Amino acid sequence: MNLDELFGGSSVPSLKIGRHALKFDRARIMAVLNITPDSFSDAGRLIGLDAALTHAERLLGEGADVLDIGGESTRPGAESVSVDEEIGRVVPVIEAIAARFDVPISIDTSKPAVMRAAVAAGAGLINDVNALRGEGALETAAALNVSVCLMHMQGEPRTMQDAPHYDDVVGEVRRFLADRLLACQMSGIDKKRIVIDPGFGFGKSQAHNLALLAQLGQFASIEAPLLVGLSRKRMIGTITGRDMNDRAAGSAAAALLAVERGARIVRVHDVAITRDALAVYAAMRPFEKAPKPTAVRPKSPWDDE
């Protein structure tokens, strides 16, 4: 039995990504494909087109449902790149993947010009760490008529981890995402095309990240699919003591906890181990039952003594 059969249904929510409908009959896996020389985890290994296509094929073979392609690193301390350079990195890869594979494609960018070029090349989802707050980003996304992922970030990549502060991290992040979702709707973006992401590691301390993970269920009130990206992040390394490239198991455990708390999409580097973890969870779900009521013991004559 595959994952689709485990959570299948005749009528389930879905997200339109280009010509694809990503059904939420189960948790979906978004695989990271960075085309950058200074990315958080790929360290420039996927700059060449052939290398990127080979990696994409492997990710899909392992069970990825969406490919998220990025041409600019958003790791803490990262420097920005020019629009032309970012377009030059991602567009050839998107075109080649769209031509070779039947898969939904996401573009990880905050720049309107990159959004337009990527969508023209075959991307159907804009994944913006800045939640479409950049100049012209919201208007561009609305005009392109594609789905969007709105992520929360306190500050900006170069300085976001200097001294993040919240009075109530869960409440503040939830209100921010609800406000951005409303702004998108007011600009003409259909709510059915909007995904939200609390932005783990983007302007958050370890305590902030753990509070968000523990209380992910509170984001259900926004009534939008929840995407979570915890893969290989510093919070996993802090917990496990593992190096960045040795965090697959911890990342899969975090992804599983996120899905258990309501995440519909998990953004990951290590697809195979994540898929296996979610398969075990999905196999268990049909057998969950409400706890049996506690038996009431008959009253004893000695109870009042």
Model pLDDT for residues 163-183, shown as the tens digit of each residue: 788 999 999 999 999 999 999
Asked if residues 250 and 258 have their Cβ atoms less than 8 Å apart, the reply is: no
Q: Which residues pair with 256 in a beta bridge?
A: none
3-state secondary structure of 111: coil
Q: Counting every residue, how long is the chain?
A: 305
Pick the more confident residue, 87 or 158.
87
Alpha-carbon span 9 to 23, nearest angstrom: 10
Q: Which residues contact 191 (CB under 8 A, 6 or more apart)?
A: 181, 184, 185, 223, 224
- The CATH class given to the 26-284 domain equals alpha beta
At 45, give phi and psi (nearest 5°).
Answer: -70, -15
Q: How much is the pTM?
A: 0.88
What letter does residue 104 receive in the DSSP assignment?
-
Query: Per mean pLDDT, which range of 143-157, 214-228, 271-285 is the poorest?
Result: 143-157
CB 210 within 8 A of CB 235: yes
Share of the chain above pLDDT 90, in %: 79
Tell me, what DSSP letter sits at residue 226?
B
Neighbours of 223 (CB within 10 A): 11
pLDDT higher than 50, residue 1: no
- pLDDT of 41 strictly over 80: no
Secondary element (H or E) of residue 150? strand 147-151
Does the annotation count 267 as an active-site position? yes
Instruction: List the beta bridge partners of residue 122.
Output: none
* pLDDT tens-digit series, residues 248-296: 999 999 999 999 999 999 999 999 999 999 999 999 999 987 666 665 5
For residues 69 and 31, give the distance between their C-alpha atoms in angstroms, rounded to a whole number: 9
**Residue in 224, 137, 136, 142 with CA at minimum distance from that of residue 176:** 224
User: Of 26, 233, 261, 275, which residue is the catalytic one?
Assistant: 233
On the question of pLDDT at 60 being above 80, the answer is yes
Read off the tokens for 115. 């959004």
**Strand 66-70's sheet: what is its strand order?**
194-197, 147-151, 125-128, 105-108, 66-70, 28-34, 265-268, 227-228
Q: Which helix (H) or strand (E) holds 148?
A: strand 147-151
Nearest to 261 by CA among 200, 184, 178, 194: 200
How far is residue 64's CA from residue 33's CA, in Å, rounded to a whole number?
11
- The tens digit of pLDDT for each residue in 77-98 reads 667 899 999 999 999 999 999 9
- The DSSP element (H or E) to which 63 belongs, if any, is none
What is the C-alpha to C-alpha distance for residues 176 and 153, in angstroms, rounded to an integer? 10
Catalytic residue among 111, 180, 261, 267: 267
Clarify whether 289 is annotated catalytic: no
Say which residues have a Cβ less than 8 Å from residue 219's Cβ, sequence separation at least 6: 174, 177, 196, 198, 226, 262
Kindly give, in sequence order, each residue whose CB lies less than 8 Å from that of residue 94, ignoring residues fewer than 6 positions away: 69, 105, 107, 118, 121, 122, 123
